[in-house]
C-alpha cells in the first residue's frame, strides 16, 4: 500500500491522567500540596475508577487535519462502544477506529469535561464493539494479525477488514492529499480456514459440498456480495451454517 504525506501520528507516553494534568497545569514549578493531589486523584477515580488498565497508552495526535476527508470508520466522531482488553471488558467507553493507521482511539474524560485521546495499546487489544458492529483482532497465516469486523458466530463466519488510503488531491492546492472512502476486504471462515471472496462464485467455492445451494440462496435473495449489508450477510451466514 503506497501512502503519501507525513506519518500517522506523533505519540508521547501518557503515564497517568493525574501526571498529565500536573504537567500541564498553569503556575510555577512548586510541588502541589496534599489537598491538590487528593483532588486530582478523586477526579481521576471519578472519571475512570481505580483501574488504570483502561487509560494506559500513548497520547494520540491527528497529523492529518488538513487532509480532505477523514480516516475513521463511518464518521469522524467518538461513539459509545465496548472495549475488550487483555485484562478487562469496558462497556460505555467512547471510541474511534482509525482505518488508515489501523488503531483504536479512546477518549477519556474527567469530571471537568477535559479529555485525552489515547491510543489503545495494540498488544492489549482483543476487540471492540462500535456502531452496532463487532470487531476482533484475529490471526491467520494468510493475513497475519488484523482487526476484522465479525458477522456470525462459530464456523462459518464472515470477516471484513476495513481500510482507508491517502491519495493525491490534484484539484485542491490547499489540501494536496485526501482520504479514500472506506474499503473492505471480505473473507469467510469455513473449517477454520480463511477464504477471501469478492462475489457469489468465490464465496460459494468455500462450501464445495453445498455450492449449488449457496448460489441458489444468493440469487433468490438478490444479494450482491461486493455491496451486501450486514443484515444480508448475517442471513447468508445463518443459511450456510444450517447446511454444514
Instruction: Read off the pLDDT of residues 190-238 as tens digits, 9 standing for 90 and up.
Output: 999 999 999 999 999 999 999 999 999 999 999 999 999 999 999 999 9
Interval 37-42 mean pLDDT:
48
Q: Which three cell numbers stand for residue 209?
A: 459440498
* pLDDT computed for residue 113 by the predictor: 66
CA distance 164 to 106: 19
Q: Which three cell numbers stand for residue 159?
A: 470477516
Coil vs helix vs strand at 44? helix
* pLDDT computed for residue 154 by the predictor: 87
Q: Which residue has the higher pLDDT, 30 or 244?
A: 244
Reported as a pLDDT band with limits 50, 70 and 90, residue 58 is confident
Coil vs helix vs strand at 61? coil
Task: Report long-range pairs for 219-228 (Cβ below 8 Å, ≥24 apart).
Answer: 225/186, 225/197, 225/198, 225/199, 225/200, 226/186, 226/198, 226/199
* 7 pLDDT above the threshold of 50: no
* 17 pLDDT above the threshold of 50: no
Q: How many CA atoms lie within 13 A of 49 on its CB side?
A: 6
What predicted TM-score, i.e. pTM, was given to this entire model? 0.77
pLDDT digits over 82-133, tens only? 999 998 999 999 999 999 999 999 998 765 667 789 999 999 999 999 989 9
* pLDDT computed for residue 35 by the predictor: 55
Amino acid at each position: 500500500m503506497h501512502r503519501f504525506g507525513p506519518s500517522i501520528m506523533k505519540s508521547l507516553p501518557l503515564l497517568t491522567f493525574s501526571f498529565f494534568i500536573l504537567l500541564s497545569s498553569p503556575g510555577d514549578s512548586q510541588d502541589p500540596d496534599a489537598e491538590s493531589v487528593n483532588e486530582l486523584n478523586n477526579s481521576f477515580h471519578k472519571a475512570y475508577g481505580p483501574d488504570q488498565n483502561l487509560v494506559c497508552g500513548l497520547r494520540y495526535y491527528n497529523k492529518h487535519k488538513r487532509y480532505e476527508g477523514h480516516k475513521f470508520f463511518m464518521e469522524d466522531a467518538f461513539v459509545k462502544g465496548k472495549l475488550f482488553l487483555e485484562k478487562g471488558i469496558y462497556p460505555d467507553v467512547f471510541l474511534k477506529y482509525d482505518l488508515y493507521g489501523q488503531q483504536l482511539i479512546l477518549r477519556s474524560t474527567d469530571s471537568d469535561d477535559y479529555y485525552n485521546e489515547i491510543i489503545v495499546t495494540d498488544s492489549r487489544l482483543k476487540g471492540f464493539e462500535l456502531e452496532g458492529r463487532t470487531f476482533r483482532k484475529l490471526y491467520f497465516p494468510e493475513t497475519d494479525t488484523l482487526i476484522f469486523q465479525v458477522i456470525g458466530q462459530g464456523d462459518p463466519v464472515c470477516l471484513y477488514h476495513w481500510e482507508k488510503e491517502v491519495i493525491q488531491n490534484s484539484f485542491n492546492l490547499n489540501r494536496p492529499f485526501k482520504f479514500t472512502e472506506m474499503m473492505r476486504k471480505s473473507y469467510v471462515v469455513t473449517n477454520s480456514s480463511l477464504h477471501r471472496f469478492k462475489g457469489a462464485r468465490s464465496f460459494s467455492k468455500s462450501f464445495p459440498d453445498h455450492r449449488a445451494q449457496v448460489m441458489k440462496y444468493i440469487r433468490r435473495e438478490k444479494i450482491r456480495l461486493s455491496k451486501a449489508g450486514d443484515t444480508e450477510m448475517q442471513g447468508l451466514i445463518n443459511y450456510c451454517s444450517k447446511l454444514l
